[in-house]
Amino acid sequence: MSPGSDKSDPVAEGKANTPPDKAHEKPETGAARRERLLQTVERLPTGPGCYLFHDVTGAVAYVGKARSLCTRVRSYFNERSADTRRAVRFVDRYVHSIEFISTGTEHEAFLLENKLIKRHKPAYNVKLRDDKDFLYVRVRYDHDFPALELARRPSKRGDAMYHGPYASASSIRRTLRMLGGVIPLRDCTDREFASRTRPCLKHEMGRCCAPCVDLVSKDDYAELLAEALAILEGRCEAVVGRLERDMSAASDDQRYEEAARLRDQIRYLRMVTAKQEVENITVDDADVVGMHRAGSLSEVVVLFFRRGALVSSAHHTLESELPDDELLAGFLHEFYGDARPAPREVLLPCAIPEAEFLVERLTERREGVVDVAIPQRGPRHRLVALAAQNAQDALKVAVDQRGHQLALLEGLAERLGLDHLPERIECYDVSNTGRTGVVASRVVFRHGEPERSAYRSYRMKTVEGQDDYGAMGETLRRRVKRRDSDPLPDLLIVDGGATHLAVAQRVLEEAGVTEPVALAALAKGGRRGRSLSLQAGERERLFLPGREEPIVLLRNTPEEYLLQRIRDEAHRFAIGKHRKLRSKESLSSRLDDIPGVGPVLKKRLLQQFGGTRALGRAGEQEVAAVRGVSPELARAILDHLQRTGG
């Protein structure tokens, strides 16, 4: 622990030091601060743990883990190579004090690092998006006739096999739809499968082999499933050969429509495999990582090779001052942080600190050996170079996009008369039908693009009925209370007019907000004859503090488009949350008021009948047939639903 520390971190079993007092009678020079930090580093323990870099305000700027705290943190002060000089610049610019927490093992350090990152949200740790652009094809082992299902997050239970990942959700969904016309696998839910008594329409169309009514054996279905998986992996020769034989037979028998359909299927299969497959005989199952940097902006590309073919890729743009090895290590630990299946190999462009820990994690997840290598020559080195070229090309696009967004934000700042760029914009909207389920939404745009992980919804606690102004006030008061852990934006927009703007102003004044937060209210304009005379058609009006008249936004300008996009996103998000809440309350209000119907029984009834309307139309014997429902309770349920309009 560092000198003068007497605090411990409540999330860890270990020792923690606290950052030095930031109050200095005289301004500390850079050399003096560096010398002070070096003295702290020499006192760090040699065992495993986590280290926290604090900036001049005391906020946590970076969290890292280490097998040896002293050795790892000392490496930031080493100026021997170009990349470590970047680490030195990072320390000199952003690190004011160092805190550490000792742990018993490296695994404990990894778990603690995740907790600390979630708690402090350090500015310079690698942050990836939620990977919603990735899909896997799942085949479950616990069903005799498994369907090809889509999954976002592979399960850790080991009861399924996953193929992918696929970066394009629309592409893999389209592939599965087209695949259904070639390989007649089922695509119904387990509930539909279990309830079928006769083949469905898809069987009549030739898109399902109807295993639900025993029209295909388990072995034959397994062969069809193997063919479908082979096509997804880019191997369609056997299936194409079978289709060509069937096409020839249909043509010989003068069944020309069927022959034409088979011909189209063959063309489709060849097109799909040509799109998915980049032949590669050097790696069988590997993730190849490439990286390219331009100042603080970096692009990391991962190429996914499965069964010797390039099946997909992932692109991530990162903004960080960290050195390349630290940045790449943070990316990999975040990238493989959840249940993502581990490949046989991970090929990297450079060495990363404590790579052994990444190898151990991936090996444990794969339940087999995983190699993490930095190839220096040969075919694998060429694959890493290919990934690096992809990263360089993607970074050019990202830089161009950043330049466009910067110009857009500059134009918006000029239009609104702001003295700083609105890099973070928050917009609030209230969804209210005048009955129940009043919900407000917050959407966040950073650098002109939505940051969906920061979206929030607010269910009203003190406001009842149709009171938009009261709901907006409650929402903003709850938002402002969290400004210490969630800093306020550069521009805060409320959906509404001058009164909504006045509500926002009053909330910030009452809370004593001193941060430079720009306020605005965005409202659709009226038509001729209303209080505001405009040209024909609706126009956007922007209300600003201190201005009696609103700004009428020019048509088809980038600034108008951005503000409309932000407001529409807030409206969409609020409406979606409101509908979910109203639907939940509607279901609960009819069944939860019946004595004897608890959560388990309510779930059984809804699963059996599909909803309260179907339940209300059922007979007493049908309801009493549900496990846990007596004839008397069945009669009470039906009487209650008839009285309440069920």
- Among the residue ranges 34-43, 109-118, 230-239, 490-499, the one predicted with the least confidence is 230-239
Alpha helix ranges (H) inside 422-557: 468-481, 498-510
**pLDDT tens digits, one per residue of 603-639:** 788 777 767 777 888 888 888 888 888 888 888 888 8
Q: Calculate what percentage of the chain has a pLDDT beyond 70.
A: 83
- Distance in angstroms (rounded) separating the CA atoms of residues 48 and 145: 48
- Distance in angstroms (rounded) separating the CA atoms of residues 49 and 65: 6
Q: What is the pLDDT of residue 253?
A: 84
Of residues 340 and 104, more confidently modeled: 104
Q: What is the pLDDT of residue 418?
A: 86
Amino acid symbol at 211:
P
- Distance in angstroms (rounded) separating the CA atoms of residues 73 and 37: 10
Of residues 130 and 480, more confidently modeled: 480
Of residues 237 and 493, more confidently modeled: 493
- With 80 as the cut, is the pLDDT of residue 195 above it? yes
**pLDDT tens digits, one per residue of 428-460:** 998 875 455 678 889 999 888 888 888 998 888
Which residue matches tokens 């020559």?
A: 377
H-helix or E-strand spanning residue 371: strand 371-373
**pLDDT tens digits, one per residue of 336-374:** 876 677 888 999 999 888 788 888 888 887 878 889 999
Torsion angle in degrees (nearest 10) through CA of 411, 412, 413, 418? 150
- With 80 as the cut, is the pLDDT of residue 399 above it? no
Q: What is the pLDDT of residue 529?
A: 33
List phi, psi (to 5°) of 535.
-70, 170
8 Å CB contact between 406 and 474: no
**pLDDT tens digits, one per residue of 266-324:** 877 766 555 444 445 567 788 999 999 877 778 899 888 877 777 777 888 887 778 88
Question: Domains in the chain, start-ordered, CATH in brackets?
Answer: 30-120 (3.40.1440.10), 135-276 (no CATH), 285-397 (3.30.420.10), 424-579 (3.30.420.340), 592-643 (1.10.150.20)
- Distance in angstroms (rounded) separating the CA atoms of residues 456 and 564: 19
Of residues 230 and 217, more confidently modeled: 217
> Maximum CA pair distance of the chain?
98
